[in-house]
Amino acid sequence: MSGPKDILISSYTYELPIERIAQHPLKNRDASKLLVYRSGSTTEALFKNIPDIIPAESLLIFNDTKVIKARLLFPAANEKTVEIFCLEPVSLDSDSHTALSAKANVKWNCFVGNLKAWKSGKLSMNFEGGVLDAEIVERSSDSFKVDFKWHPESLMFAEVLERAGRVPLPPYMKRPPEAEDSSRYQTVYASEDGSVAAPTAGLHFTENVLKKLKENSVKEANITLHVGAGTFKPVKSKTIAWHEMHSEFFSISKKVIKCILDQKSENIIAVGTTSLRSIESLYWYGAQLVGGRARSGGEIYIGQWEPYDNPSEIPVDESLNAVLHEMEVLNAVTISGRTGIMIVPGYDFRVFNGLITNFHQPQSTLLLLIAAFIGDDWRVVYDYALNNGFRFLSYGDGSILFR
């Protein structure tokens, strides 16, 4: 009998013409098109009209992570350039915010482009008001541990990146970052530094849209999940059983958990797949607590196969109340950890009945998530988008999907 791990990635593909991949944002964020999928039917609107589409008293859950300027271009031998792409701190015991606050010295896991040009042990670059040095200290299977040192030592690493780095546009944007990307590859509500890719569903929201949602009695809550470069990692294996899902840091407050419990599973809508994965992971952490399988000391880790290897019939309220109890024991206002949860067809969604999201790459884990959320109708949705002029991927148009 086949299960989720036997899913063929070739069953989740479609033809995406390169000209349909948005290379630049629209002039106005909320001028994007919006595909609306509800009760098996597909229609379209403009994103600025989404307050009229979301039912009153719904709860929207946003990801307030902020994209850092994670790409560093170092001059190297023979007038060549080495690109270092900062992925996450080497010490996963601390979150990105802590590592970004470091002064004088820090180690990060990084991708390195044009490695052959890195002839010496140390590379240096000048930036506004200082100098940044980089040295490889260890190589892993697909990345490097890089030791960064800088002057003046009074600067935090976040300030160094802001001055020296570039916006980390996705690889399918075949252009260097431009001035507008500093603001447009960022949500208007971003506040927590740490992502190396934007939670792109949120890019369409404007202050005006948020104001109208509030006027329509739509509630809002923020979680934080720092998006990693692994979000662009293609599935290269024949079945997803052999795909290694990246893990990402997330943090959720007691206030948000109580908002979800008060909502009683009615009209809870995720703004982006990152928000959805975070809250679904929270359910599985609660299930671990109830089942006596959680790690000690409030350490959260949700592996990619957790929902499939350890299925649970525990109700959502019991799971989330177990998390709240653990937070009381730990005297914690927020709870955080890492999740590598993989959501594929066959997954039983626990919290959400709505999802706001962009259009994702063929044969990607994000497309598998969409197929899990609305079933085989993902093909209907994507065919409609392809046949009706929708723009795809990070700077593309949006959709709202109701289960």
β-pairing, 219-225 vs 59-63, is parallel
The reply to whether 360 and 267 lie within a common domain is yes
**Could you write out the DSSP letters of every residue in 114-155?**
SGGG--SSEEEEEETTEEEEEEEEEE-SS-EEEEEEEESTTS
Euclidean distance between CA atoms 301 and 248, whole angstroms: 10
Asked if residue 309 belongs to a domain, the reply is yes
User: Do the beta carbons of residue 161 and residue 70 sit within 8 Å?
Assistant: yes
The reply to whether 236 and 374 lie within a common domain is yes
Mean pLDDT value across the chain? 94
Residue 93 has pLDDT above 60, yes or no: no
344: Cβ contacts below 8 Å, ≥ 6 apart:
4, 7, 240, 365, 368, 369, 371, 372
pLDDT in the model for residue 94: 52
Q: pLDDT confidence of 399, banded at 50, 70, 90?
A: very high
113-126 burial, b at 16+ Cβ within 10 Å, e below that, comes to eeeebbeeeebebe
Look at residue 102 and give its three-state secondary structure: coil
pLDDT in the model for residue 1: 54
The reply to whether 220 and 279 lie within a common domain is yes
β-pairing, 130-139 vs 398-402, is unpaired
Is the four-CA dihedral 294, 302, 200, 67 of positive or negative sign?
positive
pLDDT in the model for residue 221: 98
Is the four-CA dihedral 322, 372, 267, 31 of positive or negative sign?
positive
User: Do the beta carbons of residue 320 and residue 257 sit within 8 Å?
Assistant: yes
- By percentage, how much of the chain surpasses pLDDT 90? 86
> Which domain, by its residues, includes 135?
70-166
Residue 285 has pLDDT above 70, yes or no: yes
Euclidean distance between CA atoms 101 and 299, whole angstroms: 22
| Residue 276 buriedness (CB in 10 A; 0-12 / 13-18 / 19+) | buried
Asked if residue 177 belongs to a domain, the reply is no
The reply to whether 308 and 199 lie within a common domain is yes
The gap from C-alpha 363 to its chain's centroid, in whole angstroms, comes to: 18
User: Domain boundary at 139, 166, 193, which?
Assistant: 166
Token pair of 337, please?
Answer: 């950890």
Residue 268 has pLDDT above 80, yes or no: yes
The CATH number covering residue 108 comes to 2.40.10.240
Give phi and psi for 148, each to the nearest 5.
Answer: -105, 135
296-309 burial, b at 16+ Cβ within 10 Å, e below that, comes to eebebbbbbbbbee
**pLDDT digit string, tens, across residues 212-252:** 999 999 999 999 999 988 877 788 899 999 999 888 999 99
pLDDT in the model for residue 91: 74
Q: pLDDT confidence of 298, banded at 50, 70, 90?
A: confident
The reply to whether 102 and 18 lie within a common domain is no
The reply to whether 47 and 94 lie within a common domain is no
Token pair of 88, please?
Answer: 């996450």
pLDDT in the model for residue 98: 77
Angle between helices 316-330 and 254-263 (to 10 degrees): 160
Residue 92 has pLDDT above 70, yes or no: no
Using alpha carbons, select from 158, 83, 161 the residue that is nearest to residue 123.
83
| Number of domains within the chain | 2
The reply to whether 192 and 304 lie within a common domain is yes
pLDDT in the model for residue 316: 97
The reply to whether 245 and 379 lie within a common domain is yes
The reply to whether 393 and 262 lie within a common domain is yes
Residue 395 has pLDDT above 80, yes or no: yes
The reply to whether 223 and 308 lie within a common domain is yes
Asked if residue 171 belongs to a domain, the reply is no
pLDDT in the model for residue 292: 94
pLDDT in the model for residue 265: 75
Element (H, E) at 285: helix 273-290
Asked if residue 174 belongs to a domain, the reply is no
User: Domain boundary at 166, 194, 222, which?
Assistant: 166
The gap from C-alpha 385 to its chain's centroid, in whole angstroms, comes to: 22
pLDDT in the model for residue 90: 87
Asked if residue 176 belongs to a domain, the reply is no
**pLDDT digit string, tens, across residues 31-76:** 999 999 999 999 999 999 999 999 999 999 999 999 999 999 999 9
State the distance between the two ends of the chain, measured CA to CA, in whole angstroms: 27
**pLDDT digit string, tens, across residues 151-181:** 999 999 999 999 999 999 998 998 999 999 9
The reply to whether 198 and 109 lie within a common domain is no
The CATH number covering residue 376 comes to 3.40.1780.10
Residue bearing tokens 């019939």: 313
The reply to whether 30 and 45 lie within a common domain is yes
Asked if residue 198 belongs to a domain, the reply is yes
**pLDDT digit string, tens, across residues 333-389:** 999 999 999 999 999 999 999 999 999 999 999 999 999 999 999 999 999 999 999
